Amino acid sequence: MDLVDLVKSGSVGGFFALRTAAPSETIGAHLPLARLYAAESEPYPALAPLTARVDRVGDRLGAPERRVAASIAHLGLAARLWSIALGPAALFGRFPDLDPADLYWDGALSSPDDLWWAGSATRPATVADLREAVQTVHLVPLHEAFRRDGRISPRLLWGNAGSALAGALRELTRWARAQDRPEVAARAAELVSGLFAHPDLARTVEGPALRRTSCCLYYRCPSGGLCGDCVFDHPPASARPTGLETRRPAP
């Protein structure tokens, strides 16, 4: 993919930016996501970067328990993975082939410096290709890695994945309207609709507003509140969330 395409994709927002070289000041800190997914033990504990990322998020937010920090850390990385694929797919009809061996991550950094791509191959912007490149190749093993780190439910993780995908669509739609590019918004909506047809993502969000049907637990942090797509209308006063909450029926 031409570098100009990736630069243009990054103009949608920070989560859509994808470097093609490691930031010079952090060379060596990024590790291929393939190692994280494989949980290798030598020469560097593969889960250590993930554990450290959850620790940092927990410290920053004052999370009351580890699964809250893990959920927020997971949501951010899922949003990055969907965005760097969906952005160029909607804008140019192709997206980077995000082989985990070629996609490097440093959990100590924020976007756009957390990820860089060492590959060069691209894939066509089809629902099947996006699903394989992001959901199958990244999200499935990423969920397994987070569950090795600590107790967190699969439904919460897939709820985060659905929320992250819906968020990427919202950002692309806003950008397309501002740039008078209706075809970009239409292509993104069509692709996302197809992705949500998969059983793991189906009904993770509902309605025209794509409101999620589970809780990411952010509201449990001292400075937390409700996310824009939160299942709750008001922060629960006394409930003890399990990560399996479903949206209340409409009155």
Q: Is the pLDDT of residue 244 over 50?
A: no
Q: What is the rounded average pLDDT of the residues 27-32?
A: 76
What is the pLDDT, as a whole number, of residue 86? 98
Would you say residue 36 has pLDDT above 90? no
- Do the domain assignments include residue 202? no
Residue 171's φ and ψ, nearest 5 degrees, are: -65, -40
pLDDT tens, 95-128?
A: 999 999 999 999 888 888 899 999 999 999 999 9
Q: How many folded domains does the chain comprise?
A: 1
* pLDDT band, very low/low/confident/very high, at 237 (cuts 50, 70, 90): low
54 closest CA partner among 67, 64, 45, 41: 67
Q: Is 15 part of any domain?
A: yes
Asked whether residue 199 is assigned to any structural domain, the reply reads no
- H or E element in which residue 155 lies: helix 154-178
The one-letter amino acid code at 60 reads R
Rounded distance, CA 188 to CA 169, Å?
6
Q: How far apart are CA 23 and CA 15, in angstroms?
A: 16
Is residue 62 domain-resident?
yes
Highest mean predicted confidence (pLDDT) among 31-45, 49-63, 232-246? 49-63
Is the confidence at residue 250, as pLDDT, over 90?
A: no
Most confident of 38-47, 114-123, 180-189: 180-189
Residue 251 has pLDDT above 60, yes or no: no
In a domain, 70, yes or no: yes
Q: Is the pLDDT of residue 247 over 50?
A: no
Domain membership flag for residue 235: no
Convert the pLDDT of each residue in 133-165 to its tens digit. Answer: 999 999 999 999 999 888 899 999 999 999 999
Q: H/E element holding 158?
A: helix 154-178
Across the range 195-210, mean pLDDT stands at 94
Model confidence pLDDT, tens digit, residues 210-235: 999 998 887 888 877 888 888 888 77
Residue-range definition of the domain harbouring residue 56: 3-152+167-188
pLDDT tops 50 at residue 91: yes
As a whole number of angstroms, the distance between CA 128 and CA 110 comes to 29
Radius of gyration of the chain from its Cα atoms, rounded to whole angstroms: 18
Q: What secondary structure letter does DSSP report for 204?
A: S
* Residue 205 falls inside a structural domain: no
Which pLDDT value is given to residue 116?
A: 93
Mean pLDDT computed over every residue of the chain:
87
